[in-house]
Amino acid sequence: MRYVLGFIFGMIGVTFAGTFGLFGGFFLGYFLGRWASKAAVLETVFAAELGRRPRRETPRKEVHISDVAFDALFQVAGYIAKSDGRVSEQEIRIAETAMRLMHLDETTRLRAISGFKAGTATDFELEPVLNDVRLAFDRSSEVGYVLLRILADMALADGVSPVKQDVLMGFADAFHLDPGVAEDLLRRHRRSSGRFHAGRRDQHGDAHTQDRSRQARQAEGTMSLDRAYERLGVLPTHSGAEIQLAYRKLIKEHHPDRLLSKGLPPQLLERANELTREIQDAWETVKTARQIR
């Protein structure tokens, strides 16, 4: 470093004072560089004596973004459940069903319950939770899409309200999800019948009954060509090549390894796989109807 500074100061010196400036500038830069090197060494030595690291070596605290996403999911779910003034039994069953379908271990299940209860507290503040998500996730809309689907399943159990809609859109925005995509997702949820409503028929909500409900929803999605177009984000006027390109893009974005690398909580992987199957079903429906090869 001392020679570099010497060269720089020497070039400056020769510009203003000729040969004398060249040598004077070189020696000035050399000794400044030497002083800077000693200062860095002294900082390290004194920092060690004081039992701390020098400032430049202070590590940044690692943020576990999958934990941020998991906690936010259940906290916001609890907040939405309480948004109409009370948490209904059906909303509690829906949350319990979601936890069961994630196959959570006991520790993680208790953590999810704690998050849900925290969201129902009268002093719960939503915005700090959403801000944590914004800071942890940098344009991770794929993860946001999966979480919004899960949250909508729980939040819309007993109907839609303006407050619920606003909170869901705020949740989507925290994950940098396109507003049009989020609104389309919620609109399809409102149209779908029987989504996570097996709890009404079975108060205990056994997993087998819920699995049949999910399979029925998936089958329902493959029956409508319009819904298949909608799920792929294309129009009937698009060419076969354009539709295939959109399908491949969605499959790539929803690949489990990609989602996990972007911060998807591992507990939600099964739900992500369900969305991938839904995309594949939509593609098969359109491909068959359009005879795309």
Rounded-to-integer distance, Cα 216 and Cα 83, Å = 30
Minimal CA–CA distance to 227: which of 270, 278, 273? 278
Residues 143, 175 share a domain: yes
Residue 22: which domain range?
2-57
Residues 285, 226 share a domain: yes
Residues 262, 223 share a domain: yes
Tallying the residues shown for the chain, one arrives at: 293
pLDDT at residue 122, rounded to an integer: 92
Residues 166, 80 share a domain: yes
Rounded-to-integer distance, Cα 176 and Cα 250, Å = 17
DSSP 59-105: PPPP--HHHHHHHHHHHHHHHHHTTTSS--HHHHHHHHHHHHHTT--
Residues 165, 29 share a domain: no
Q: Which of 36, 57, 78 finishes a domain?
A: 57
Residues 16, 122 share a domain: no
Residues of the chain below pLDDT 50: 1-7, 9-10, 13-14, 21-23, 25-28, 30-31, 35, 38-63, 193-210, 212-213, 216-223
Residues 279, 230 share a domain: yes
Q: Which residues contact 199 (CB under 8 A, 6 or more apart)?
A: 90, 93, 94, 97, 157, 205
pLDDT at residue 171, rounded to an integer: 92
Residues 93, 40 share a domain: no
pTM, full prediction = 0.62
Residues 170, 151 share a domain: yes
pLDDT at residue 8, rounded to an integer: 55
Residues 10, 150 share a domain: no
Q: Which of 57, 76, 91 finishes a domain?
A: 57
Residues 270, 139 share a domain: yes
Number of structural domains, the chain?
2
Residues 73, 44 share a domain: no
Residue written as token pair 């004072």: 17
Planar angle of CA 214, 269, 281, nearest 5 degrees: 50
Q: Which of 16, 39, 57 finishes a domain?
A: 57
